[in-house]
Amino acid sequence: EGLRGMSGSTVERTARIVRTKTEAAAEAARTRGSRLVRTVTEDSIALEASRQAEAEVLQLHASTEESVKVAYRSTGLGIYAVVMRFAGMPLERLAMVLNSSQVSGQGQLSQAAKIVFADGAMAPFRTVGRASLVAWFLQYSVMGCVFQVCDRALSRLLGVRCIPYGEELMRRPDESAAPMSPSEQARAAGKVVLAPLLSGCIESSVSNRAEAQRFYGIDKLAAVEAKLGANPVARALGPGFAANASRNFIMASSSFVVTPVLYQRLYPQEKKDAQSLFWFGLGVNIFAGNAIAITQQALWGRALDYAAAGGGRPISYAAVVREGLAAEGSAAFITPTKWVARVLMNAPVQGTLPWFYNEACRAPQRPGGGGVAPALFTRARCEQVLPLGEG
């Protein structure tokens, strides 16, 4: 009845007002909805960015934690080696002389002993200078650190797994992995050769000249180097570098490849512990590593004698081998006496390296055990990325 009483224009105005208000309400609802969606979207983006930032922080912590572990182990190896090598200097000098052309025929051990102790019982220790102390520390710390760096870099480059070490040695090998293709097997074999080769060369670049100094004596090495007139690089590497690097390649392979791989795969699982790793590593280095490395040690000693002839001359390894075989046959490079001398000189430190590196250096890094890593990171944060109890 009210509508009937209203004029047409009034009805039309009323309808327009209602329509306008309805459209305004709908527009406001759409605006609020768009704002809500935009807010939710922005919150989602912010949340994702926060998660990514947290992941990057955790990754950085994991990377830093691993770097600290490598540095910790390598420093421990260096200090351990300095003490052991200095204490064993009489044995080292004896082995150096036995594995050279300075002795021959019967009674080589007594001949070598007379040469080594000609200036008194303390004579071997007097050949050790600051260069040897620094070289020993760097030599053994480089062996652990650089081998890991080489192993990991080559593993990433070639797409193969790293050599096992640490806590991984105490676990059963992963037998669920798919068999490797011939291409993967070739890459893995190449990496197993290249990693100790690179680390052995780096080790020799640090240690060879100091070893030559202990072999010749400080004054004689200076005279030989002056006569040779070598370029700065060759002078820094020292005489006999190739033979020295070959020997260190063999020992790095024995300590960091053969010992951990054989121990993890072949040693009875129920008998694995720190003590068994110690004796296993010692046995592998004595009866495998040193038995092969002794030939290169003898080649190195004979090469240095060759270089010193006539006051100094360039080394010809072909001539060294030819003259040695002509004079003594295979006994010029390997005999039981040379092997025993090498074992007595090198096995105490080299044979215990796998145990010291994987066990003694690892223990202080466990949660609550003190050491470097727990001091830098909270246990809760680190265990989200890499448990500190892992090797």
Q: Determine the pLDDT at residue 332.
A: 94
Q: Indicate the pLDDT class of residue 142, thresholds 50, 70 and 90.
A: low
Does residue 26 lie within any of the structural domains? no
Alpha carbon separation from 145 to 34, 198, 199, 348 (Å, rounded)? 57, 12, 9, 20
Does residue 275 lie within any of the structural domains? yes
Q: Determine the pLDDT at residue 245.
A: 96
Does residue 222 lie within any of the structural domains? yes
Percent of the chain with pLDDT over 70: 82
Residue 328 is part of a domain; what is its CATH number?
A: 1.50.40
Does residue 49 lie within any of the structural domains? no
Residue 140 belongs to what domain range? 73-171+182-359
At 193-245, the pLDDT tens digits run 999 999 999 989 988 999 999 999 888 898 999 998 888 999 999 999 999 99
Kindly report the pTM of this predicted structure: 0.70
In this predicted structure, the answer to whether residue 386 has a pLDDT above a threshold of 60 is: no
Does residue 20 lie within any of the structural domains? no
Percent of the chain with pLDDT over 90: 38
Does residue 61 lie within any of the structural domains? no
Does residue 217 lie within any of the structural domains? yes
Does residue 265 lie within any of the structural domains? yes
In this predicted structure, the answer to whether residue 322 has a pLDDT above a threshold of 70 is: yes
CA-based nearest residue to 307, from 241, 380, 387, 373? 241
Least confident of 42-56, 177-191, 302-316, 321-335: 42-56
Q: Indicate the pLDDT class of residue 382, thresholds 50, 70 and 90.
A: very low
Q: Determine the pLDDT at residue 78.
A: 81
Half-sphere exposure of 227 (CA within 13 A, CB side): 16
Number of domains in the chain: 1
